[in-house]
Amino acid sequence: MNRFIGLIDSGMGGLTVLNQIMGFLPEENTVYFGDMGRAPYGSRSRQVLKRYSEQIVRYLIDNYDLKLMVTACNTISAICLDHLQETFDLPIMGIIDPVPEKAISASTNGRIGVIGTRRTIESSVYQKKILSIDPSVRVYPQECPLFIHLVEEGWTKEPAARLIVGEYLANLKHSKIDTLILGCTHYPILKDMIKEYLGSDVLIIDPAVECITTIKAFLAEKGILNKGNYPERIYQVTDNPELFRSSGERYLDRKIHNVNLVDIGLLESKTAVC
Ligand code: DGL
pLDDT by residue (tens digit) across 158-185? Answer: 999 999 999 999 999 999 999 999 999 9
Residue 133 lies in a domain: yes
For residues 112 and 157, state if they share a domain: yes
Helix, strand and coil in the chain, % to nearest 5:
50, 20, 35
d(CA 214, CA 228): 21
Among 18-22, 28-32, 225-229, where is mean pLDDT lowest? 225-229
Residue 57 lies in domain: 4-95+209-269
For residues 14 and 71, state if they share a domain: yes
For residues 146 and 60, state if they share a domain: no
d(CA 46, CA 139): 24
At 30, which amino acid appears? Answer: T
State the CB neighbour count (10 A cutoff) for residue 169: 21
- The catalytic position among 80, 144, 184, 211 is 184
Residue 29 is predicted with a pLDDT of 97
95 lines ligand 1 (CB under 6 A): no
Find all residues with CB under 8 Å of 166, minimum gap 6, and list them: 197
Which atom of ligand 1 is the closest one to the Cα of 39?
Answer: 8
d(CA 189, CA 206): 10
188 lines ligand 1 (CB under 6 A): no
123 lines ligand 1 (CB under 6 A): no
User: 1 falls in which pLDDT band (50, 70, 90)?
Assistant: low
40 lines ligand 1 (CB under 6 A): yes
Cβ contact 93:108 at 8 Å: no
Residue 274 is predicted with a pLDDT of 46
Give 86 Cα–ligand 1 centroid separation in angstroms.
22
For residues 110 and 180, state if they share a domain: yes
For residues 186 and 225, state if they share a domain: no
Count of the separate structural domains present in the chain: 2
Closest-CA residue to 122 (of 65, 89, 170, 79): 79
Residue 253 lies in a domain: yes
Residue 124 lies in a domain: yes
d(CA 248, CA 33): 12
d(CA 164, CA 197): 11
Which atom of ligand 1 is the closest one to the Cα of 41?
Answer: 8
Residue 274 lies in a domain: no
For residues 196 and 264, state if they share a domain: no
- The catalytic position among 73, 80, 144, 211 is 73
207 lines ligand 1 (CB under 6 A): no
For residues 199 and 218, state if they share a domain: no
pLDDT by residue (tens digit) across 59-103? Answer: 999 999 999 999 999 999 999 999 999 999 999 999 999 999 999
For residues 89 and 71, state if they share a domain: yes
Cβ contact 32:260 at 8 Å: no
For residues 193 and 223, state if they share a domain: no
Residue 181's DSSP bridge partners are 114, 205
Give 12 Cα–ligand 1 centroid separation in angstroms.
9
Residue 42 lies in a domain: yes
Q: Which of 166, 183, 207 is the last residue of a domain?
A: 207
To the question of pTM greater than 0.85 for the whole model, the response is yes
Closest-CA residue to 208 (of 77, 119, 60): 77
**Residue 199 region by backbone torsions, left for phi larger than 0, else alpha for psi between -120 and 50, else beta:** left
Residue 221 lies in a domain: yes
Q: Which of 207, 223, 241 is the last residue of a domain?
A: 207
Q: Is residue 211 annotated as a catalytic residue, yes or no?
A: no
Q: Is residue 274 annotated as a catalytic residue, yes or no?
A: no
CATH code: domain of residue 140: 3.40.50.1860
For residues 203 and 214, state if they share a domain: no
Residue 271 is predicted with a pLDDT of 61
